[in-house]
């Protein structure tokens, strides 16, 4: 049985006070908090077997390598990948997408080729393609939104041509909370021979995912948005595609052989992991995956739906509050962006912080989407496994007091 109060006991930071108030952390789309098991695993590595991986034959190096590679297998199992060699460790979703852009795109795309993205993409899945498009003469197309905050799939079908080589789409919008129809997108892209890249940063933490059944070519996500440390990311790629890609970083450990005239790359995935990696972070990520698996991803998914439904109902009752994104709970996640009357989002977030409530305010690295919505910024509440209905009630009460503050001129 899902016991959120027992879960909260595993997160030391949730006992902290902020401005004299109990912390209410509602900024999980930016980064999640870490359970004690993850924190302890990182400390344990540095205290007991700190060594580099894949290099030394001494005992500490062997243990560190075993733990590092154990996490790779855990990640593969978590997303149901065919084998762990399809899992590349990076420093985050951003680096993973850049690896695809430069390791695959620079090698295989040519002038006149087309890439289809969406207007709801995070900058991490727009900027690398803009850079590559300028470099190679590519054409970028964007799937528009419907009024309900979902993608206009019919328009997407009309954008696809024989020149389409890649479709890049977010699993879940980091602003609207929209869960995109990946199955339909993959089928349409593959029908013209295009590859599909999924930005899974906001989807993998809560949606049970099977990359084999989704049939995606690339999937990028970050550890820190799913209880793990910062500085660790994942790129999943189909093995045959990864084997044809070029590395992003050249240097130590990503080679089989180096001479003064030439180099031979190491096997997949190691050719993409040049230099000393974030060993402690990867090991900590393994414990985060253990924690999520122990809770059960299906249970996490159901709890998020329950909490999101409650939050939408409560927030919808606030006069003057505009919510963005789908109202149909089956089409959205626990990310809820809104604006409150004519109060600037930064003012809303600052006043909420005085009550111990942490939310996000700004454009959330999604300026094109905010332009489509006709707003410069928004407030964002994002829920995760340890949030409660009581915290949502407190948020609503605090929001209602904000209007009183502005009306009184205090």
- Residues marked active site are found at 365
Give Cα 385 to chain centroid, integer Å: 16
Q: Going by C-beta distance under 8 Å and a sequence separation of 6 or more, which residues neighbour residue 129?
A: 101, 105, 115, 117, 138, 140, 168
For 34, 162, 371, the CA distances from 112, given in Å and listed in that order, are: 45, 11, 27
In angstroms, the CA 313 to CA 327 distance is 10
Question: What are the structure tokens assigned to 175, written together?
Answer: 């602003």
Q: Is 235 within 8 Å of 213 (Cβ atoms)?
A: no
264: β partners: 257
Pairing mode, if any, of strands 335-340 and 321-324?
Answer: antiparallel
SS3 333: coil
| DSSP codes joined into one string, 11-64 | -GGGG-EETTEE-EE-BTTT-----HHHHHHHHHHHHH----SSS--SHHHHHH
**CA-to-CA distance for 150 and 191, rounded, in angstroms?**
22
Distances (CA, A) of 305 to 168, 311, 383: 26, 10, 10
**Pairing state of beta strands 21-22 and 335-340?**
unpaired
Longest dimension (CA), the chain: 74
Q: What angle do CA 208, 213, 218 make, to 5 degrees?
A: 85
């Amino acid at each position: 049985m899902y016991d959120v109060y027992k879960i909260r006991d595993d997160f030391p930071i949730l006992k902290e006070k902020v401005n004299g108030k109990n912390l209410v952390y509602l900024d999980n789309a930016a980064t999640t908090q870490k359970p004690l098991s993850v924190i302890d695993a990182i400390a344990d590595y540095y205290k007991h077997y700190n060594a580099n991986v894949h290099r030394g034959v001494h005992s500490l190096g062997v243990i560190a390598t075993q733990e590092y590679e154990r996490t790779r297998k855990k990640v593969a199992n978590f997303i149901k990948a065919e084998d762990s060699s399809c899992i590349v460790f990076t420093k985050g979703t951003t680096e993973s997408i850049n690896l695809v852009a430069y390791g695959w795109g620079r090698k295989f795309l040519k002038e006149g080729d087309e890439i289809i993205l969406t207007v709801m993409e995070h900058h991490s899945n727009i900027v690398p393609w803009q850079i590559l498009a300028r470099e190679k003469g590519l054409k970028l197309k964007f799937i528009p939104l419907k009024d309900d905050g979902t993608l206009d799939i019919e328009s997407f079908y009309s954008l696809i041509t024989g020149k389409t080589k890649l479709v890049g789409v977010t699993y879940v919008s980091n602003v609207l909370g929209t869960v995109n129809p990946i199955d339909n997108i993959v089928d349409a892209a593959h029908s013209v021979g295009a590859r599909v890249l999924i930005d899974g940063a906001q989807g993998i933490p809560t949606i049970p995912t099977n990359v084999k059944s989704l049939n995606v070519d690339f999937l990028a996500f970050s550890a820190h948005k799913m209880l793990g440390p910062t500085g660790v990311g994942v790129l999943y790629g189909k093995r045959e595609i990864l084997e044809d890609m070029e590395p992003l970083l050249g240097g130590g450990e990503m080679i089989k052989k180096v001479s003064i005239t030439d180099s031979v790359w190491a096997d997949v995935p190691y050719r993409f992991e040049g230099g000393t990696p974030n060993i402690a972070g990867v090991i900590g990520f393994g414990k985060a995956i253990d924690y999520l698996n122990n809770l059960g991803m299906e249970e996490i998914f159901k709890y998020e739906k329950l909490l999101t439904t409650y939050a939408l109902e409560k927030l919808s009752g606030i006069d003057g509050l505009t919510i963005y994104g789908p109202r149909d709970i089956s089409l959205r996640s626990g990310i809820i962006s809104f604006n409150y009357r004519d109060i600037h989002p930064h003012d809303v977030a600052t006043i909420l912080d005085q009550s111990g409530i942490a939310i996000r305010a700004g454009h959330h690295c999604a300026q094109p989407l905010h332009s489509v919505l006709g707003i410069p910024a928004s407030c964002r509440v994002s829920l995760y496994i340890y949030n409660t209905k009581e915290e949502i009630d407190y948020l609503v009460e605090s929001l209602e007091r904000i209007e009183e503050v502005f009306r009184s001129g205090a």
